[in-house]
Structure 1
């Protein structure tokens, strides 16, 4: 297990948690803000759906591909410095879009820069929290809270922009949201030491505990198993969400009902990230995965056979199971890699899960074209069940396993 570090003594760990959770909420909110803006940009610039897809891909593609380089930069310059710089870059991108009257080319470039800035958040904030709470088994619960904060941002920031455009232009509203990110970037730099998380700082902390520093890429079989489970879990989530509206429509749901259904899933998912982080700390990763992935598969398999009302009642519980696994998995990363490798390990883990989430709708979409949405969603559930034997193989690698 990663060494216990003196971070909580020199820096209040609640401050680390507050900074990391706020950063997660902001960056996840920035990522989902694009969904609100796509119809606006289509009207403003006369864009096709393909062009809108490119804009979305520019942000998410940069964010997914640059997480490992962000971890490498953190080892040299410090996680806090890179996190603050990335937050400033992401916020500045939205300010540029909002206040400059940007055309399509500038919009595309700004989104690419914004995604690059958001690439810093997941691996670096996760590593900071795992070091701050690496005692008495509190890491998983802490990372579960951090994971939950991202969902709050996904709900709050797009909703804030939707409210702002009722009293301001979309550009001015977006500029204000970007300004909030600039303030957060300054707060990150002021509240935490700039070199925190650098190679020199981490090495000194590890040596203070009598351990040998380990660098480079994580090579343990346990971490690879964890990553594979995360990839399947993320693919299950996105595959299910891709087919859910079509299944509900076959059950007689209208547009408003589909919107309500998605809200129920997301609300349950946000609760699941918080609850399962705590649950995995108490009953272990294996038991948590058995409950969440087993519950996810059972719920997905039952959904096509239920009437619409029963489906809507099931969706919050299904959302809880669907998203809850991620907190148990993220919380296990620090237990499977040495302290000096944590930024890189989180970078690899998030790259894998985000990449899986991007590819899953394409792969499952082809399956859906071949067999129809009802059969395709059943296949999603069966693939989800493959995580259970993988979790059983992973369990011996986890310290304090149950």
Structure 2
């Protein structure tokens, strides 16, 4: 009997070990691949905006609306994706969402006008709505209390996609029509969807584990969270608004389409570095000091890129990316500190809804500004928006005990 039980126990231990070892690693790397693909899908639109402007005769507002349709659909359906995962499971929902995103880009390659293109991007955005909530929760559930490091790898992988796919689409459209280029990236998405469906380990639906300990003593007031949310919304507006306008600003300076793709990759590479740099900076000067430094630096870098000729402007783009992306990483870590006890997840959901929603609406606002006062005036408006965050950060300081 003892001999019979031992293999059974060993089998259970082996299963646990596999879940904690190779299985967990597979979850992490597949989640990273999904994150890179979906973030790349989101940001390759920036490279295609000038192409669509020439092909369909669109103004800046219409172009910004296309971007807003994708991001708005992605943001609004994330809660629904979570509910769907309770029925189908994380793995299948994430795989189907990836397939739907790929199908949306395939349909975009077949579109003949603004309405068809907008509908295709809405489909792609609906598919991408599954990625952030499900891939990140898969990593959290797999690694439990040890998820902090793996989640940082997962977050960084999105920046790899942001750097790689825009550059790839910029190269592809020089070799083939833009419609065919979209079909190529759609095929890549189908491959990732298949890998997720076949290789992603099954994630237990009812075993979500808290990866971080919530310190109730550090909770702030509702006013503090409102200030934090407003800061995040404005920061996202600056980032998304500028990225929408940047290709047109660079074109005015004489940049080719390939150079525009390279420029965006430089910004995104800088943004990836900004996550690490601002984590280091935040540990030394605090969240408020980091926010003041990054937002002031963002405004200065935007104005410098606006005023400089093309070559020095391109050289400034990685630093601009550091500043643009740095604030968000600092703000994210402050959400639990200002959340009410037992409402940390809801606080994160509210924060992401606000910032992603801002990312969808801000390009439309700045696009209208571009139509009314020109690209240069709209770019100046993004710099002024960054500076409005400074007094908000100062008002938030007394509501954060460690910042006093």
TM score, norm. by length of structure 1 = 0.70
Tell me, yes or no, if structure 1 residue 34 matches structure 2 residue 45. yes
Distance in 2, matches of 1:67 and 1:353, equals 13
1:91-129 CA-to-partner distances (Å, cap 9, x unmatched) read 12234455xx55556554332211101112223333344
Tell me, yes or no, if structure 1 residue 64 matches structure 2 residue 75. yes
Give 1:325 shift.
Answer: 1.7
Tell me, yes or no, if structure 1 residue 125 matches structure 2 residue 168. no
2:169 aligns with 161
Give 1:283 shift.
Answer: 6.7
1:386 to 377, 385, 391: 391
**In the superposition, relative to structure 1, how do residues 86 and 317 fare at CA in structure 2: closer, same or farther (>3 Å)?**
same
1:357 aligns with 359
2:56 aligns with 47
SS of residue matched to 2:207: helix
Distance in 1, matches of 2:125 and 2:89, equals 20
1:88 aligns with 99
* Structure with the higher helix share, 1 or 2: 2
1:110 aligns with 120
Give 1:177 shift.
Answer: 2.1
TM score, norm. by length of structure 2 = 0.70
1:201 aligns with 207
1:3 aligns with none
1:318 to 308, 311, 320: 320
Native 8 Å contact 2:335 2:347 kept in 1: yes
SS of residue matched to 1:201: coil
2:235 aligns with 233
Correspondence list, 1:281-296, <5 A: 285-296=287-298
Distance in 1, matches of 2:278 and 2:138, equals 20
SS of residue matched to 1:386: helix
Native 8 Å contact 2:84 2:93 kept in 1: yes
Correspondence list, 1:209-358, <5 A: 224-241=226-243, 253-255=253-255, 259=260, 264-277=266-279, 280=282, 285-297=287-299, 299=301, 314-333=316-335, 345-358=347-360
Give 1:67 shift.
Answer: 2.1
Native 8 Å contact 2:296 2:387 kept in 1: no
Give 1:298 shift.
Answer: 5.1
Native 8 Å contact 2:160 2:269 kept in 1: no
1:395 aligns with 400
Give 1:238 shift.
Answer: 3.5
1:184 aligns with 192
Distance in 1, matches of 2:36 and 2:131, equals 10
Distance in 2, matches of 1:378 and 1:108, equals 29
Distance in 2, matches of 1:24 and 1:144, equals 12
Give 1:157 shift.
Answer: 1.9
Higher mean Cα deviation, 235-244 or 267-276? 235-244
1:298-352 CA-to-partner distances (Å, cap 9, x unmatched) read 5457777889877665543232122112223334556666999777655433331
Native 8 Å contact 1:269 1:321 kept in 2: yes
What's the Cα RMSD here?
Answer: 4.6
1:218-263 CA-to-partner distances (Å, cap 9, x unmatched) read x9766554433211211232455567789889xx954469947666
1:124-145 CA-to-partner distances (Å, cap 9, x unmatched) read 3333445556647x73x65454
Q: How many corresponding residue pairs?
A: 373
**In the superposition, relative to structure 1, how do residues 52 and 175 fare at CA in structure 2: closer, same or farther (>3 Å)?**
same
